[in-house]
Structure formats: C-alpha cells, structure tokens
Amino acid sequence: MNLNIGEVSKRTGLRAKTIRYYEDIGLVKPLRDTNDYRVFRETDLHKLIFLSRARALGSPLVIAATCWRSTRMKPAPVQR
C-alpha cells in the first residue's frame, strides 16, 4: 500500500503539516517517488496512527516515539 500525504492525513486525523514535522524530526521516513512526492507505506501509517493516539491520550511525543521503538525491538534471547 502506497499513500500520499493527503491520504495519510485523512486516515490518521493528523494535519499534513504535522506529518511533515514528524518527518523532519525523523519519526517517519517516507519514500520519494520520481516527482519527489512523499510515498508512505503501511508501516508509516501504523506508526502515525500510534503516535496520534498516544498524543490524544496526553503522552509527550518523545515518550510515544520511545514506546513505538520499544514495541518494534526484538527481545534478546534468553540464556539458560
């Protein structure tokens, strides 16, 4: 699934300006097409929805981003 910023904005409820800000600070890294338009993947969409919901619940952006990263890390193998 490849989405442009307008479609992502509609699906997440975030303004395009906010999405661009999240890109500027490194929270999302959309691909670019041949015309240099942003192309968001499904993983970008899920991350933006997560961040949007966390912010709506009052979580600071840095905490929400840290939580997202920690849920995506693979746990270390257990040594016996």
Q: Residue 62: which CATH number?
A: 1.10.1660.10
pLDDT at 10: 96
Is 17 within a domain?
Answer: yes
pLDDT at 32: 95
Is 59 within a domain?
Answer: yes
Please give the residue range of the domain that contains residue 21.
Answer: 5-72
Is 53 within a domain?
Answer: yes
Report the chain's terminal Cα–Cα distance, integer Å. Answer: 42
Domain count, the chain: 1
**Residues in the chain with pLDDT < 70?**
72-80
Q: Could you identify the residue written with the tokens 């997202």?
A: 68
Is 80 within a domain?
Answer: no
The three-state secondary structure class of 38 is strand
